């Protein structure tokens, strides 16, 4: 019983992280029509920046948003200086994000060396809470709570604000959106910055669960890809549901069949592609 509860909670916490990672990925893909292949690397960069901030005695709850802001600024530079030059050449943009992913991963290796850096959970959340006679790791509950709060915040942003309406218009029909006077170019930068900052913050929040290590990018990127293929491009709800489905499958797969975790990950993707290629909640085909 304890095993199932703990694994469920682990899945939910990983799902929360995955949502923070893949919601930004999905929004960028939905609006700019490009899968940002640097997303995993930026997640890892966020995690590493977090470790450095924590080593300088910065409070954890300050380090996470700060790393997000730094990664977000890098995203703005990337979008404005490189991707913008390739406007209209979507394949070129994707390949550039891949090149940037390699550069970031290698520079992380240079700066933070190849040894994994463990990240302690913030003070006060290290001890498990006891509920109904079971011990729950507190920090994971908190991560789940943050992810749900972020999901609600993003939902309100997209559905209830002017900016969200403009983004939705841009996702559905960029040319029309331009036609009615929305500055789609500015939206691109905003969404890219927001999505990338979410990834950076998620990297720090994921630190106590995953720690920071070289190869973290290559572990997270495929998970985000599978989430978006499953949930549908540009759909927040799809990213939300997809994140928890993928994290549960991955987590239980790893716990029950350690060798086959990746094969099992294959399944939701195959099922989605065969039966619903536009994803569970997507409106456009990837």
Residues that bind other proteins (CB under 8 A): 33-35, 37, 82, 85-86, 89-92, 94-96, 98-103, 105-107, 109-110, 218, 221-222, 225-226, 228-229, 233, 258-263, 265-266, 269-270, 273-274, 277, 285-286
Contact predicate 64/50, CB 8 Å: yes
CB of 22 to other proteins, least distance (A): 12
What does the alpha-carbon distance between residue 14 and residue 225 come to, in Å, rounded to a whole number? 15
CB of 21 to other proteins, least distance (A): 14
**Whose Cβ is closer to other proteins: residue 102's or residue 134's?**
102
CB of 61 to other proteins, least distance (A): 33
**Whose Cβ is closer to other proteins: residue 8's or residue 89's?**
89
**Whose Cβ is closer to other proteins: residue 156's or residue 267's?**
267
CB of 92 to other proteins, least distance (A): 4
**Whose Cβ is closer to other proteins: residue 19's or residue 250's?**
250
């Amino acid at each position: 019983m304890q095993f199932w509860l703990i694994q469920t909670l682990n899945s939910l916490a990983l799902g929360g992280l995955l949502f923070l990672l893949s919601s930004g990925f999905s929004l960028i893909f939905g609006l700019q029509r490009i899968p940002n292949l640097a997303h995993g690397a930026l997640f890892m960069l966020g995690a590493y920046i977090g470790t450095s901030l924590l080593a300088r005695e910065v409070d954890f709850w300050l380090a996470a948003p700060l790393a997000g802001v730094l990664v977000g600024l890098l995203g703005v530079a990337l979008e404005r200086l490189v991707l913008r030059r390739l406007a209209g050449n979507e394949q070129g943009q994707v390949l550039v994000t891949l090149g940037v992913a390699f550069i970031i991963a290698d520079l992380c290796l240079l700066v933070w060396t190849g040894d994994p850096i463990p990240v302690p959970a913030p003070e006060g959340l290290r001890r498990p809470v006891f509920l109904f006679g079971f011990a729950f790791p507190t920090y994971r509950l908190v991560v789940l709570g943050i992810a749900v709060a972020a999901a609600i915040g993003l939902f309100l942003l997209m559905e209830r604000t002017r900016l969200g309406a403009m983004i939705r218009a841009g996702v559905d029909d960029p040319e029309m959106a331009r036609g009615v006077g929305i500055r789609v170019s500015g939206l691109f930068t905003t969404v890219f910055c927001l999505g990338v900052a979410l990834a950076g913050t998620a990297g720090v929040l994921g630190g106590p669960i995953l720690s920071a290590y070289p190869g973290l990018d290559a572990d997270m990127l495929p998970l985000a890809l599978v989430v978006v293929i499953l949930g549908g491009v540009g759909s927040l709800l799809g990213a939300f549901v997809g994140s928890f489905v993928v994290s549960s499958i991955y987590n239980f797969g790893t716990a029950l069949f350690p060798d086959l975790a990746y094969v099992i990950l294959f399944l939701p993707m195959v099922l989605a592609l065969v039966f619903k290629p536009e994803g569970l909640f997507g409106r456009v085909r990837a």
